[in-house]
Amino acid sequence: MKKRNWKSAFTSSLFVLPYLFFFTIFLLIPIIYGIWISMHNWDLLSPEHEFVGLGNYQKIFNPDSYLNGLFFDGLLNTFQFVIYSVPILVVVGLALALLVNSLPDRFKGFFRTTYFLSYSVSVSVVAIIWLWVLDTNSGLINQYLMKLGLQGIPWLTNMPWAWVSLVIATVWWTIGFNMVILINALNDVSEELYEASALDGANRWQRLIHVTLPSIRPVMLFVLITSTIASFNVYGQPYLMTRGGPGDSTKVLLMNIVDEAFEQRQLGTSAAMSLLMALIMIIISVVQFKLTKEKE
Amino acid sequence: MDSKAGKLFRIALASIIALLFLVPLFWMLATSFKNDFEAITSGIQWLPQEFTFENYLYSLADVPVLRWMSNSLFVGITGTLLVVVVDTLAAYGLARLDVPFKKVLISMFIGSLMIPWVITFLPLYMEFNQFGLLDTYAVLILPYTANAFGVFLLYQYFRGFPKSLEEAAHLDGANKWQVFTKVVLPSAKPTIWTLAIFTFMGIYNDFLWPLVTTTSPEMRTITTGIAVMQQGSFVSSPGKLMALTSIATIPAVLLFIIGQRSFIKGVTQTGIK
């Protein structure tokens, strides 16, 4: 068997070749090309691109360069969105899963579908709906506040309300997905563990802490990492709802990268910013993975 | 153990939360049947005082919304078919056949799952720009084929497939291709279906990529087309905007309600355990 049968190896390769072709053209080459672009002074309008080595990266870390502000202000805004949204997406997602699971069987399907429904609409629909609900003058929420004799809230134009609005819209849109994954995980927890803890006289809360949470830890980790990555990549919500405002205070890193590339036409610097952003995302995923694994 | 009051309380709580999810959608529908003046000035009016279809007629006549939806469907379905075929073949080859450099390929593909897409975003744009393929269906479909998620998902499935069945077919004189299509593929259907749903939703809902790679109105997807309208001519016309979003939302929601069972099954199947 050790002797390689060349004919067989050839026919077998045909199975993998189509994917390998796409993988090479649309992933491998772009990665290398991206690194190459990031080492050039690459103005989209100019035919000549001067090689600058790590110059673009140096500029990002040089406090005197405009790129420094562009990158780190954007990164700080992205971080804020991640920190505000991810805990809610994970913890409330779990709470919804527990709630749905605790309902009588004939209600489960209805509520699961209802909480999951908004996941089916696209980001522009989410943004448009919430812009309208949160509208300062004619919005549903402010109308009710004014009815109660309260002042309307400038949801999209003032801090911290702009963040609140973006987080509300995001949670409404995507939390159902986390909930569904967690419901599946909850259903997989073995009945025996619950029975054993019931015999030990554990109450509902103790069961949650000592039985449920440890059993679903791997799924929680998955939800945590995917939510973090999704929040890191946030673009549509601030682009459509606040347009980065008020001022530049909700302008996330990805928006700055897109502006630098397509408004300023500076491909070299924007490619360098993308590579750094990706590097940060990889580091955060690895750290989250390590931190949650270590406890076991 | 479980008191009746507790049960009622949980149902009540669940219902209130359900309202939070449904009210924005209902408000969208309600507004879409109001004229702009009423929408802006009438305050909390759950049902329109003057019921009008004008917004829908206007959206369907003056906005290429049907074209955008066909674009989204076409791009989503073609992309999904491509991904499913290519990924299934590769996964089977890697799981079962004597592909040269198998180990290297497997670790390269799985490793690529770690790479955030933002790395390839700009260089991919430049690549398509150089080939003159911006603002075409190619740019809206091809980039999604590089994702290794499906290869990984199906690779795991094929590894778990009982080898004895394949060997029996081999002994009966079937060649690789016949074994693959007649014996292995039929059993992989649910996993392939899962991959198809995830891929379709990913392509259909993508925003930034189609936004920057298309410029002409007739190449827009529904997601980006609506966004452009929101920022442009419909900006102060809530009735028309809500009619437009309703047109885009209703089919998606209906499809979702029908398909959610397979989707939920799929979530369990992706091996998130």
Considering chain A, what is the average pLDDT of its residues? 91
Question: Residue A264 belongs to a domain with what CATH number?
Answer: 1.10.3720.10
Residues 197-256 of B with CB under 8 A from A: 204-205, 207-208, 212, 222-224, 226-227, 230-231, 238, 241-242, 245, 248-249, 252-253, 255-256
| pLDDT value at A249 more than 90 | yes
Does domain B63-231 sit in CATH 3.40.309.10? no
Mean pLDDT of A201-228: 88
Taking the Cβ of residue B121 and every Cβ of chain A, the question of whether any pair is shorter than 8 Å is answered with yes
Q: Which tokens is A153 given?
A: 């809230």
Beta carbons within 8 Å of B2's beta carbon, 6+ residues apart: none
User: Chain A residues with CB inside 8 Å of B227's CB?
Assistant: 124, 127, 236, 240
A21: closest chain B residue by CA = B146
pLDDT in tens, A54-82: 999 999 999 999 999 999 999 999 999 99
Q: How many CB atoms lie within 10 A of CB B141?
A: 20
How confident is the model at residue B44, as a pLDDT?
Answer: 80
On chain A, the residues whose CB falls within 8 A of the CB of B100 are: 4, 9, 13
Q: Cβ A181–B272 below 8 Å, yes or no?
A: yes
In tens, the pLDDT along A167-176 reads: 999 999 999 9
The sign one gets for the Cα dihedral B152, B154, B157, B159 is: negative
Residue A25 falls inside a structural domain: no
A144 CA: distance to closest CA in chain B (Å): 8
Cα separation, B139 vs B203, in Å, equals 12
More confident of the two residues A105 and A93 = A93
pLDDT digits (tens, 9 = 90+) for A99-130: 999 999 899 999 999 999 999 899 999 999 99
**Nearby residues of B154 by Cβ (< 8 Å), 6 or more positions away:** B87, B88, B91, B92, B95, B188, B191, B192, B195
Contact (CB<8Å) A124/B207: yes
How many domains does chain A fold into? Answer: 1
B138 in reach of chain A (CB within 8 A): no
Question: Which chain A residues are within 8 Å of B7, Cβ to Cβ?
Answer: 104
User: Taking CB atoms and an 8 Å cutoff, what residues of chain B touch A135?
Assistant: 238
- Return residues 171-190 of A near B (CB < 8 Å): 172, 176, 180-181, 184-185, 188
Query: B146 and A23 in contact by Cβ < 8 A?
Result: yes
Confidence of residue A29 (pLDDT cuts 50, 70, 90): very high
pLDDT of residue A62: 94
Helix or strand (DSSP H, E) at A188: helix A161-188
Contact of A216 with B189, CB cutoff 8 Å: no
Is A7 within a domain?
no
Q: Which of A27, A144, A205, A228 to mutate to test binding with chain B, by most B CBs within 10 Å of its CB? A: A27
Best of A6, A11, A16, A183 to mutate (most B CBs within 10 Å, chain B):
A16
CA distance to partner chain B, nearest, from residue A64 (Å): 26
Q: What is the pLDDT of residues B16-53, one digit of tens each?
A: 999 999 999 999 999 999 888 888 877 788 888 888 88
B17: chain A residues, CB-CB within 8 Å:
96, 99, 111, 115
Distances from the Cα of B199 to the Cα of B54, B82, B83, B194, B266, angstroms: 36, 10, 8, 9, 12
Owning domain of residue A155: 30-294
Whether A25 and chain B come into contact, CB under 8 Å, resolves to: yes
Type of residue at A191: E
Res. A34: pLDDT tops 90:
yes
Q: Is A29 on the interface with B (CB under 8 A)?
A: yes
pLDDT at position B250: 84
Domain residue extents for chain B: 63-231
Q: Does the CB of A141 have a partner CB in chain B at under 8 Å?
A: no
Confidence band, pLDDT 50/70/90 cuts, at residue A138: confident
The one-digit pLDDT tens for each residue of chain B (273 residues) are: 467 888 899 999 999 999 999 999 999 999 999 888 888 877 788 888 888 888 899 888 888 999 999 999 999 999 999 999 999 999 999 999 999 999 999 999 999 999 999 999 999 999 999 999 999 999 999 999 999 999 999 999 999 888 888 888 888 888 889 999 988 999 888 889 888 988 998 898 899 999 999 999 999 999 999 999 888 777 778 888 999 999 988 878 888 888 777 777 776 666 554
Q: Which of A33, A254, A282 sits opposite B114 (nearest CB)?
A: A282
Does residue A133 fall inside a structural domain? Answer: yes
In terms of C-beta distances under 8 Å and separation of at least 24 residues, what long-range contacts does A77-81 make, across chains too?
A77/A248, A77/A249, A77/A250, A77/A251, A77/A252, A77/A253, A78/A232, A78/A234, A78/A252, A78/A253, A78/A254, A80/A163, A81/A163, A81/A166, A81/A167, A81/A231, A81/A234, A81/A238, A81/A250, A81/A252
DSSP letter at A235 equals -
To probe the interface with B, which of A4, A71, A120, A175 has the most B CB atoms within 10 Å?
Answer: A120
Question: How high is the pLDDT of residue B273?
Answer: 41
Would an 8 Å CB–CB cutoff place A283 in contact with chain B? Answer: no
Q: Is B31 part of the contact surface with chain A (CB cutoff 8 Å)?
A: yes
For residue A294, pLDDT beyond 70: no
- Quick one: pLDDT band at residue A4, thresholds 50, 70, 90? low
Identify whether the C-beta of residue A267 lies closer than 8 Å to the C-beta of residue A37: yes
Please give the Cα distance from A17 to A30 (Å, whole number): 19
* Structural domain contains residue A152: yes
ipTM for the predicted complex comes to: 0.90
CA distance B32 to chain A (A): 11
| Alpha-carbon gap: B139 to the closest alpha carbon of chain A (Å) | 11
